[in-house]
Amino acid sequence: MNGDWGPQPFPVVPGHEIVGIVTETGPEVTGHRVGDRVGVGCMVNSCGKCTNCRNGDEQYCLDGMVATYAGTDRDSSTTQGGYSTHVVVDAGFVLRVPDGIDPSAAAPLLCAGITTYSPLRRWGAGPGRRVAVVGLGGLGHMAVKLAAAMGAEVTVLSQSLKKQEDGLRLGAHAYHATSDPDTFTALAGRFDLIVNTVSAAIDVDAYLSLLAVDGALVNVGAPPSR
């Protein structure tokens, strides 16, 4: 809203991670019907024709993916986000939301959820795997819940212990403060996967020391760190 990510095409309504009801469909839409409860993430369109789109990597569309809000759609209109009364979305970017899932629980899965689920799945989080989650914010708490549900042994690494109770309640098996230098000594070589969710730079070398052989450190919430 403040233009912190660059110039914005005001007036624009923000908001992604949307759950809503289909009110109208185009003549070629077959997967969704009026009245369906659906979800929309951070993209609403792409060219659909380039190599990346055909491979299912629409976020890397060579013609530029269309963001859910403040994006320029294929008809040159500015996309409006989830806080508006209606949004227009290409059918390929709409997901069916089962009736048994509460909308407030489903919505975060459409961005924070997939952002953390994707690396957990790709790097094999599950029984017998030791996963560390750095940070317990919007992304971190989702990573903890998902990794625990997948059967991994989950440890939260946070700057302090002030969120320890929350972390353990969400499914973490252990919780350590990274402000304590002894943490890096005690946990050296322990983890198969570290998912970094914080929005600030971290000391990559320090966290790499926590990985077991063939382990992976994945950044999902921050730019490249020092």
Q: Does residue 13 lie in a domain region?
A: no
Same domain, yes or no, for 102 and 154? no
Residue 226 forms part of a structural domain: no
Query: What tens digit of pLDDT does each residue of 12-55 get?
Result: 999 999 999 999 999 999 999 999 999 999 999 999 999 999 99
Q: Is residue 37 part of a domain?
A: yes
Residues 73-117 pLDDT 10s: 999 999 999 999 999 999 999 999 999 999 999 999 999 999 999
CA distance 106 to 187: 34
Peptide bond just before 181 cis, omega within 30 deg = no
Coil vs helix vs strand at 96 = strand
Confidence band, pLDDT 50/70/90 cuts, at residue 121? very high
Q: How far is CA 121 from the centre of its chain?
A: 13
Around 186, how many Cα atoms within 13 Å sit in the side-chain half-sphere?
11
Partner residues linked to 38 by β-bridges: 20, 96
Domain of 147? 113-219
* Whether residue 53 sits in one domain with residue 143: no
> Do 40 and 134 belong together in one domain?
no
> Does residue 7 fall inside a structural domain?
no
Same domain, yes or no: 75 and 138: no
CB atoms within 10 A of CB 125: 26
Residue 225 lies in a domain: no
* Rounded distance between C-alpha atoms, residue 56 and residue 168, angstroms: 36
Q: Is residue 66 part of a domain?
A: yes
Whether residue 120 is found in the same domain as residue 179 = yes
Are 106 and 144 found together in one domain? no
Query: Residue 221: its pLDDT value, please?
Result: 83
180/203 same-domain check: yes
Phi, psi (rounded to 5 degrees) for 37: -90, 125
First to last CA, the chain: 29
Quick: pLDDT tens for 165-181: 999 999 999 999 999 98
3-state secondary structure of 12: coil
- pLDDT digit string, tens, across residues 201-219: 899 999 999 999 999 999 9
117 plus 179 within the same structural domain: yes
- Final residue of a domain: which of 110, 137, 156? 110
The beta-strand segments (E) located in the chain are: 18-21, 37-40, 43-45, 66-67, 94-96, 130-134, 153-158, 174-177, 191-196, 211-219
In this structure, are 44 and 73 located in the same domain? Answer: yes
Do 120 and 53 share a domain, yes or no? Answer: no
Tell whether 96 is covered by a domain: yes
Beta bridge partners of residue 78, listed in sequence order: 72
pLDDT at 223: 53
Confidence of residue 224 (pLDDT cuts 50, 70, 90): very low
**For residue 2, what pLDDT band results from cuts at 50, 70 and 90?**
confident
Query: Does 2 fall in a domain?
Result: no
The number of distinct structural domains making up the chain is: 2
Q: Which of 56, 86, 110 is the last residue of a domain?
A: 110
